[in-house]
């Protein structure tokens, strides 16, 4: 059954979905990393694909930018398409001085300036985090692959063009690693729908030093994250079967 934003049927999606922000990145992943991939939905150019990675069925579906957009796709995937696990892959702006451009961060926790989690969960004292077993797996797999993988709390913001000039310093003081715009929605919805979720980001720009990746560096860094996330996704899919 189609939903308002996904024109597909239940069996079209794999149990595990990789979720970049950018629809073009979804196409890039399907074309370059998946075998026998097929387009399963394209409502509003949000192109979703299902294919195989090392023999394991995986879907890719973009979130768009920001929590309202991401929450629409995440809710419909979990509720209507029998998706069990969503792994976000994205970019983030680094706060923490120890983070270098291209480093990967797994969001072991998440804070936000949005009211969305409180409204969804119905209580102000919520905690947001990934599925514990998935986090453990990712940390183990990152170490085995020799990746620089930081694990810590990320800040999900509703604001890209942040007017608060002191925010950066407060985040560093509080030990928050980086800022992005979707993870809090993913973690809140996984909690409500009793599904699995994990958010992985690479540092594309550094808010303390002003450093940012060139377009070429951005692509090669994303390639690294895509490969890693696909390994995590296929490992997860195997454990669901
Ligand atoms: N802010 C919010 N989201 C982001 C940023 C940022 O600076 N960089 C990459 N995603």
Residue 1, pLDDT above cutoff 90: no
- Test site for ligand 1: of 89, 160, 225, most ligand atoms within 8 A of the Cβ: 160
5 in a domain, yes or no?
no
Residue 179 in contact with ligand 1 by CB distance below 6 A: yes
CB 61, CB 20: distance < 8 Å = no
10 in a domain, yes or no?
no
96 in a domain, yes or no?
yes
Residue 47 belongs to a domain with what CATH number? 3.40.50.1580
* Tally of structural domains, the chain: 1
Residue nearest to atom 7 of ligand 1 (CA): 93
118 membership: H or E segment, kind and range: helix 116-121
Per residue in 100-124, pLDDT (tens digit) is 999 999 999 999 999 999 999 999 8
Q: Is 158 tagged catalytic?
A: no
111 in a domain, yes or no?
yes
pTM over 0.95: yes
6 in a domain, yes or no?
no
Confidence label for 40 from pLDDT (cuts 50, 70 and 90): very high
For residues 65, 67, 69, 75, the Cα torsion angle rounded to the nearest 10 degrees is 140
Per residue in 197-208, pLDDT (tens digit) is 999 999 999 998
- The average pLDDT across 187-192 equals 98
Structural domain containing residue 193: 16-240
Query: Nearest CA to 48 among 79, 109, 93, 2?
Result: 2
């Amino acid at each position: 059954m189609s939903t308002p934003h996904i024109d597909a049927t239940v069996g079209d999606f794999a149990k595990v979905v990789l979720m970049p922000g950018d629809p073009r990145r979804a196409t890039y992943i399907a074309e370059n990393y998946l075998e026998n991939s097929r387009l399963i939905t394209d409502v509003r150019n949000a192109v979703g694909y299902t294919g195989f990675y090392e023999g394991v069925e995986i879907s890719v579906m973009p979130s768009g930018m920001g929590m309202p957009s991401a929450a629409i796709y995440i809710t419909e995937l979990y509720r209507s398409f029998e998706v069990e696990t969503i792994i976000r892959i994205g970019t983030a702006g680094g706060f923490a001085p120890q983070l270098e451009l291209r480093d990967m961060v797994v969001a072991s926790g998440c804070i936000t300036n949005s009211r969305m989690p409180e409204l969804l969960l119905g209580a102000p004292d919520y905690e947001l985090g990934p599925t514990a077993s998935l986090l453990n797996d990712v940390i183990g797999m990152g170490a085995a692959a020799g990746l620089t993988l930081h694990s810590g709390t990320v800040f999900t913001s509703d604001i890209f063009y942040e007017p608060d000039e002191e925010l950066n310093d407060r985040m560093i003081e509080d030990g928050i690693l980086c800022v992005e715009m979707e993870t809090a929605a993913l973690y809140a919805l996984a909690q409500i729908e009793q599904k699995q979720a994990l958010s992985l980001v690479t540092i594309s720009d550094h808010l303390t030093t002003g450093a940012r990746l060139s377009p070429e560096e951005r692509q090669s860094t994303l390639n690294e994250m895509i490969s890693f996330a696909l390994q995590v996704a296929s490992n997860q899919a195997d454990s669901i079967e």
